[in-house]
Amino acid sequence: MRLAMVRVTRKLLAPLITVVCCITINAQQASTHPFPEAYFTLTTDTARMRFLMKAISDSLNEGQLNSIYDWSVAGLAMAQKNRNDTMTGIFYFDIGKAYAYKILKPDSAVYFYKKVLPFFPDKLKYYNLYATREIMERYSEAGNKDSSLAYLDSLHARIDSMRIDNPRRMNMSQNMAGVYRYFGMFKSATRLYQDAIEGYRIKGNKGGLGMAMANLGELFDEAGDDLKAIYYSRQALDYLEIANMPYMLTAANLATYYSNLGKYDSTAWYLHLSDSVARIMGDLVQEKVSNQMIRCDALNNAKKYNEARSLLAQIGSLLYQNPYPPGLVKYKLACAMADTGMHRFAAARDTLISALQTARDSKEEIYITLSLQALAAVQANLNNYKEAYRYQQEYLEHKDSLTNQETKARLADFEVLYQAKQKEEKIALLQQENDIKNLQLKSSRQTNILYGVIFLSILSVLSLLFWQRSKQQRLETDKVKAELQTQVLRSQMNPHFIFNCLNSIENFIMQNDKRMASDYLNKFSKLIRSILDSSRNEVVPLAKDMEALQLYVELEQLRFNHKFSFTSFVDPALRGGDYCVPSLLVQPFVENAIVHGLAHSEEEELNLTVTASLENDTIKYIVQDNGIGRKKAKTYQELNKPYHKSVGLKITEERINMFNQQSQAGEFVSITDLYDGEQHPKGTKVEILLKAV
């Protein structure tokens, strides 16, 4: 279950969450962590300060944070007494580290990091640069977006002056990308991760390259693009060392991405890899809880609810020993999904109410939204329609709030990219002006004409490049418009179909046929959800598209009182591959066959068939019915709806044309009228050709 605007997990916060769960300390407990014995053998303040500075650095690198605050305060006192500005700035920086990662007070951390900056005025030096980075991250941790973005801008100005393979630029790019990611500004984050990847490639740094690719994979997962998430994460594994935490977590992430796509064999394989590394590292939480939760999600998605419930029982005993609110909510949602699948609706309802309360206590908005959505569906299954309506209204309110947040993030994203583009153009312009001035300074009376010709040539080349660039931008804009139009088309269904479905549900309710009303409503909601999920992607897996088509036909069968039968067949070669197609591309032809061909027929044994087969590099669909045929359907249309003009099939042919990247669509769609031996109409056959991707 996934919302378009936000992914369920905030992987950006994983390191912070670990610290929060494992550490609590009172900053005022000074002297509880004594100094090393070697410290007391030193006789001068300078030696003691240098000793403390190295001890603090070593402790930070090893993750041993208990003594950082005490040692930093002692060092600061000596630095101030001796009026050593450099050491004063360094110990302020270390106190900020203690507040950020041990004491967990981001506001205090920001206060001390800001005190570092005056002691290191050069903005490209280590302490100024990294103190600014820490301030940016602490503001994002506290949810202060405006302040965080202000320091992001400051860091952009600095790293833009560095070479792309500068280690500090690569490091900063990933930190800045993480903050953009946290605020949902995925385009800006993607650009920075790609900069880091390019830098690590140039340097030949495999470990850094693997980490950057893994982060980029997580970013695409959060943005809802599992195919790109898989692409970058699989590359990341090739560069990461096998027996380390990044490899283990990236393998677990890949299992999640494949589970989202319904590829459970691949899910099992990558979970096996993650479990193997977890056992080597002795990480029981990853092996026994995190990876097992991924298995449960896969089992639920595969409708193996009994197996999922059995596995969840094992996880619960471990999870409740060290409760962590987001993990608990996700666990409860998985339990409720399994119970719902086994029609244990009362148990699912109770679990979801508990999940909703936990999510509200921890202020996890995405989990609140998911819990409300699931509660509305379960209450409907329990015939508690009043409660179902209340939860549905709350769900829509929270969903709208999340959508608004996503929209604001996208606008901010575009603004950042626009500003970056302006800066690049200004830099290029300044460089051009500088080159021109250098030419003018070097010129002499004898070469003025030559330089003038060169200048005009450069200007002409620049004009040509500018024209080509403008043309490319127009083409890209047209492409974006076309994609948007396609997305809008995918996200819409025939209003008549929706109204007919709602009327059918109302009729069942009025007839007190609760079972049929519930069945119809469930299928209708699944279809709408499938359409909404698919609308944000240019293509969807063929199997998922056929499932949506099956739901649509089942609704039409209910509407027409099972007047016709339906048969579908998908070539095993297509089922076994990773083929993707534009969503609901065949649906308008199926709708035409039902509404115009079968609905008006008085014959017995009416049927509709849809087949999909792989022929070389082409996917061939065949939609065939034994209805009244196109000629009689046209006559009926002219008598009953003389002014109605349908553009659905024309738009669908344009979509096919666009997908196949051809200028003419006629060769990809052919319609054949069928006749019996006496030339009486016996239906219609539609053949559709798509390139296989």
- Residue 107 pLDDT grade (very low, low, confident, very high; cuts 50, 70, 90): very high
Q: Tens digit of pLDDT for each residue in 601-612? A: 888 889 999 999
Q: Tens digit of pLDDT for each residue in 590-641? A: 988 888 888 888 888 899 999 999 888 899 999 999 998 888 888 877 777 6
Domain boundary among 373, 407, 442: 442
Q: Are residues 405 and 514 in the same domain?
A: no
Inside any domain, residue 399: yes
Instruction: In whole angstroms, give the CA distance from residue 369 to residue 433.
Output: 54
Q: Tens digit of pLDDT for each residue in 401-412? A: 655 555 555 545
Q: Tens digit of pLDDT for each residue in 123-171? A: 999 999 999 999 999 998 888 888 888 998 889 889 888 999 999 999 9
Q: Tens digit of pLDDT for each residue in 524-579? A: 888 888 777 776 677 888 888 888 888 889 888 888 888 899 999 988 888 766 78
Q: Are residues 344 and 424 in the same domain?
A: yes
**Which residue shows structure tokens 């409300």?**
372
| pLDDT of 263 above 70 | yes
Domain containing 578 — which CATH number? 3.30.565.10
The mean pLDDT value of the chain amounts to: 80
Inside any domain, residue 149: no
pLDDT, position 209: 92
Q: Are residues 428 and 504 in the same domain?
A: no
Q: Are residues 430 and 514 in the same domain?
A: no
Instruction: In whole angstroms, give the CA distance from residue 171 to residue 157.
Output: 15
Inside any domain, residue 409: yes
Q: Are residues 506 and 570 in the same domain?
A: yes
Domain containing 350 — which CATH number? 1.25.40.10
Q: Are residues 435 and 556 in the same domain?
A: no
- Residue 22 pLDDT grade (very low, low, confident, very high; cuts 50, 70, 90): very low
Inside any domain, residue 651: yes
Cβ contacts of residue 480 below 8 Å, gap of 6+? none
Across 442-471, average pLDDT: 71
Instruction: In whole angstroms, give the CA distance from residue 334 to residue 296.
Output: 7
Q: Are residues 400 and 532 in the same domain?
A: no
pLDDT, position 398: 76
Q: Are residues 428 and 577 in the same domain?
A: no
Q: How many domains does the chain have?
A: 2
pLDDT, position 265: 92
pLDDT, position 88: 95
Residue 419: how many other CB atoms lie within 10 Å: 12
Main-chain phi, psi angles of 43, to 5 degrees: -110, -15
Q: Are residues 438 and 500 in the same domain?
A: no
Residue 578: how many other CB atoms lie within 10 Å: 14
Name the residue with higher pLDDT: 415 or 2.
Answer: 415
Closest CA to 564 of 525, 597, 529, 516: 597
| pLDDT of 245 above 50 | yes
pLDDT, position 80: 95
Q: Are residues 425 and 509 in the same domain?
A: no
Q: Are residues 499 and 580 in the same domain?
A: yes
Residue range of the domain that includes 640:
495-691
Inside any domain, residue 435: yes
Q: What percent of the chain clears pLDDT 90, i.e. is strictly above it? A: 28
pLDDT, position 25: 33
Q: Are residues 565 and 651 in the same domain?
A: yes
Inside any domain, residue 479: no
Instruction: In whole angstroms, give the CA distance from residue 230 to residue 573.
Output: 22
Q: Which two tokens stand for residue 198?
A: 């390019």
Q: Tens digit of pLDDT for each residue in 495-515? A: 656 766 777 777 778 877 778
